[in-house]
Amino acid sequence: MFKILDKKQLNDSTFSMTIDAPLVAQNIMPGQFVMVMTDENSERIPLTIADFDKTAGSVTIIFQAIGGSTIKLASKNAGEEIAHFAGPLGMPTELENISNACVIGGGVGCAIALPQAKWLKNHGANVDLVAGFRNKDIVILEDEMKAAATELTICTDDGSYGVKGFVTGVLKDNITSGKNYDCVIAIGPVPMMKAVCDITKEFDIRTIVSLNPIMIDGTGMCGGCRVNVDGKVKFACVDGPDFDGHKVDFKELMIRNSMYRNQEKEHKEHICRMYGGK
């Protein structure tokens, strides 16, 4: 069992939890994820690490309570325990030899982009962090992102906070104004990542994206998280979740991610046939 050390509600649907998990914390690197089970009968949930403290042995996850499993996890409070917290899984982000980066987060993707930005800044890189949200009410982690960036720009679709518009507009303005990025990291909704890649491909800028296909076991055995990268089948849980954004088949990824949208909207308890359910 893993104790919840701290829980915060960041907006109407987004929560932060810090978990006591010393072995995970000692080995984690930016870009990796964990598989979480709230109790022994819960669905496995892949959640990317938002922060970690090797000394304290703690790991912080940030998630949206939008389905049955994440709502169950969000019902837990500090001092309570969750059943399983397995990781680190996946490959760390390749951040070495980056000196001038633009890190882009969309919505909850900002929580995933934060460790990358923090690592880069701590290792001497210039980091422009661009964070996009629909409106002011759902902005999260502003202070944390400001601390992890050389320059932070917040965008809102409706202009209720920061710059009005999309992260892609800020990115293109930065590039055309003379900012010479040697890498762009984009994490968030798939259409946003694709739009970022369309811009950076035009300027021949290396671009890393973190993919979010349907994932079941997190070990590569089920094949559920397969993605098409450079014409080859890859598994996001073991080959990723980070990939060269210019080589990702985003059209196929969007189709696969939408396959179970109707079922995901239902908050009914799921009984997995692996455990004898019918």
Going by pLDDT thresholds of 50, 70 and 90, the confidence category of residue 274 is: very low
Distance CA 234, CA 91 (A): 13
Tell me how far apart the alpha carbons of residues 108 and 93 are, in angstroms, rounded to a whole number.
18
According to CATH, the topology of domain 100-257 is Rossmann fold (3.40.50)
Q: Where are the beta strands (DSSP E) in 167-222?
A: 183-187, 207-210
> Hey, which CATH number is domain 2-89, 2.40.30.10, 1.10.1740.10, 3.20.20.60, 3.90.1150.10?
2.40.30.10
Q: Which two tokens stand for residue 11?
A: 């907006």
Supply φ then ψ for residue 45, to 5 degrees. -120, 120
Amino acid 259: pLDDT: 63
pLDDT(245) > 70 = yes
**pLDDT of res. 157:** 93
The model's pTM is 0.87
Residues of CATH 2.40.30.10 domain(s) within the chain?
A: 2-89
Residues of the chain with CATH 3.40.50.80: 100-257
Is 80 exceeded by the pLDDT of residue 215? no
Q: Looking at residue 4, what is its pLDDT?
A: 96
Identify how many contiguous H helices and E strands the chain contains and give both numbers. 9, 16
Predicted confidence at residue 237, as pLDDT, reads 86
pLDDT on residue 12: 87
Nearest to 227 by CA among 185, 257, 266: 257
Retrieve residue 2's tokens: 């893993």
